[in-house]
Amino acid sequence: MSEPILVVNAAFGAIKYYVIDVDQKEPLVRGKASGIGQTAPGEVTLTRDDQTHLLEQRLPDHLSALGAILRLIDEYGQPVGQLAAVAHRVVHGADLFAAPTVITPAVLEAIKDLSPLAPEHNPKALIGILAAQRLLPDIPHVAVFDTSFFADLPAAAAAYALPAELTERLRIRRYGFHGLTHRYVSERASLLLGRHDLRQIVCYLGNGSSISAVDAGRPIDVSTGFTMIEGLPTRARSGTIDPGIHRYVIERTGMDIVEFDRILREDSGLLGLTGMTDQRQVWTAADHGDERAALAVEVLVHRIVSYISAFHGVLGGAQAISFTGTVGEQDVRIRKAVCDRLACLGVEIDRGVNAKTLGPIRSRIISTPRSGIAVLVVQQREPLAMARQAAALLGWKRKTPNSPEAVATS
């Protein structure tokens, strides 16, 4: 066993955490602290193997929540003294961080300065980092940035056609998000297909969604942009809309820009179209004749196909398409609907392989040998990707990086 790494994802009112051995594909333990900052008792869970432990207590802040997490880890998981590092998920690194970095006072200040670019995320990550550093002061803390994979997008993909003075002064460009997942899935797809020069499209479909075009490991386009609103509609986000709608709505309703921005982030997407946020509920409603639900499915499929088709052209012909994320991995019907629309590109899936959902979802090829483009389902493993990036930064190596066992657990 390698030295375990604590992976922390701090959000508003909650902390998700994992203890990862980078030589293993599954976390040693995982859990969540919820109800942070509430007057009622919060909950802290820890799951190891098939057993879950629960701690209920007031969690006035992230420091108390992380302290409770460490007590559970120490009692039911891994001795806290054996933790070798902490990897923190930070959403926005802008153009300052193109790779994971050891957290120093200067890095903390930079994350704070970038908070206007991700006001819902960076401040919470900063709070989580400060709490973890206070409780675990003797081990390195590493910031792993969700935008870093897309830091070197080609200029033509990254630039918006706005006045240069404005974009340069305010750091306006397409940053791209969910980069941790896009990097891991693109590497995994290359491994499964035995090609490191692969031209591929990664479809991350979940609570948040994005699509990327990756050429030989380098991203060359992405659906998300300056914010995560751009791109696909999601559970509650609108996805790309005409910017002129902002002014029209504000002038016609008297709503201010802050409230309309909240609607785009919290009341749109599946929720706005159907009143539901669960894709399974939307399918059920559509099957029972709900026209709004049927429209929502069509909108999502249409936008996914539009991005895949566009990125197929950008790549000069994609050789693989991967589906990942909760929806991408588990929604058989979405995959089939999308791939059926891509028959014009030579896409053909094996419906039997696509439909297999029993047992743990495993990475696999779901296209037929005749398909002009390989189609895969790849498990999302963001915590593992974070831990491995942190370990690589710190100079640790997996015990047997070239062995069949290491390849099987990638």
For the stretch 288-343, pLDDT in tens is: 999 999 999 999 999 999 999 999 999 999 999 999 999 999 999 999 999 999 99
CATH domain 5-145+385-393 topology: Nucleotidyltransferase; domain 5 (3.30.420)
The CA–CA distances, whole Å, from 394 to 86, 140, 264, 387 equal 11, 9, 39, 11
Comparing CA positions, the residue from 19, 21, 65, 23 lying closest to residue 42 is 65
Residues of the chain with pLDDT > 70, as a percent, come to: 95
Q: How far is Cα 358 from Cα 360, in angstroms, rounded to an integer?
A: 7
What pLDDT does 77 receive?
87
* pTM of the shown model: 0.91
Are the C-beta atoms of 100 and 390 separated by less than 8 Å? yes
Q: Looking at the predicted structure, is the pLDDT value of residue 214 above 70?
A: yes
Mean pLDDT of 374-393: 94
Class of domain 194-379: alpha beta
Q: What is the DSSP letter of 91?
A: S
Q: Where in the chain is the domain with CATH 3.30.420.40?
A: 5-145+385-393, 194-379
Provide the strand spans (E) within 301-359: 320-324
Region 160-165: mean pLDDT is 97
Q: What is the mean pLDDT of residues 379-383?
A: 93
pLDDT digits (tens, 9 = 90+) for 3-59: 899 999 998 789 999 999 998 888 999 999 999 999 999 999 999 998 999 999 999
List the catalytic residues: 146
Interatomic CA distance for residues 67 and 86, integer angstroms: 14
88 sits in which H/E element: strand 85-90
Closest CA to 79 of 12, 26, 6, 129: 6
pLDDT above 80: residue 399: no
